[in-house]
A and B are shown apart, each in its own frame.
Chain A
Amino acid sequence: DAKTTQPPSMDCAEGRAANLPCNHSTISGNEYVYWYRQIHSQGPQYIIHGLKNNETNEMASLIITEDRKSSTLILPHATLRDTAVYYCIVIASGTYKYIFGTGTRLKVLA
């Protein structure tokens, strides 16, 4: 599986958009980009995933660059409850072995 690189930490003001980047420059054509988050003392929570098109759901938007070497998770209006560690994972279709890196620790500030 391709490796990912994320900044270790970010701050965001409450109510503003949080843009979390992920670099996956060695991604293969059949590999998806998944995002999870882990709020303190809880299990990881699925957010969104995509292959090459941009995706949006009720939680977030996922923007994948045309060359697929990087992506950005966007939380459009961050709240204090969005404070968490966010993990970007790249995994091939039909496989299951997530490799969780160290993620980005997002702190939303009041």
Chain B
Amino acid sequence: DAGVIQSPRHEVTEMGQEVTLRCKPISGHNSLFWYRQTMMRGLELLIYFNNNVPIDDSGMPEDRFSAKMPNASFSTLKIQPSEPRDSAVYFCASSNRYEQYFGPGTRLTVT
């Protein structure tokens, strides 16, 4: 298996623009997680899906952030409009039991 796939790997955008991050979980995994990592706050869980349904979005920082999982093999995290403080590495992870498998991350820079 190729593992969790994320795209793009790097994204540079200007403040106010819409940003869409993409994730393909490991086939057969029924749970998907979006995390954000910054130097100041470390790794934070943003949202958790189980069987394509959002279960816990309490970590989503504000209404500018939204996430969808239209099917078992694809999820998106959208930021609209983006702000410089959204600059971070965003990780997607999937799981089918206890351990989570993380993707390589998307490094987002908002100028």
Contacts and interface: CB of A to CB of B under 8 A. Distances in A.
Interface residues of A, number: 16
A43 B99 contact: no
Contacts of A44: 43, 91, 93, 100, 102
Contacts, number: 41
Contacts of A41: 105
Interface in B77-104: 91, 93, 95, 98-104
Interface in B44-74: 44-45, 48, 56
Contacts of A97: 45, 48, 56
Give the dominant DSSP class at B's interface: strand
B100 A101 contact: no
A102 interface: yes
B33 interface: yes
Contacts of A34: 98-99
Interface of A: 32, 34, 41-46, 49, 93, 96-98, 100-102
26 contacts: A32-B98, A34-B99, A41-B105, A42-B104, A43-B91, A43-B93, A43-B103, A43-B104, A43-B105, A44-B102, A45-B102, A46-B99, A46-B100, A49-B99, A93-B98, A96-B31, A96-B33, A96-B48, A96-B56, A97-B48, A98-B43, A98-B100, A100-B42, A100-B44, A101-B42, A102-B42
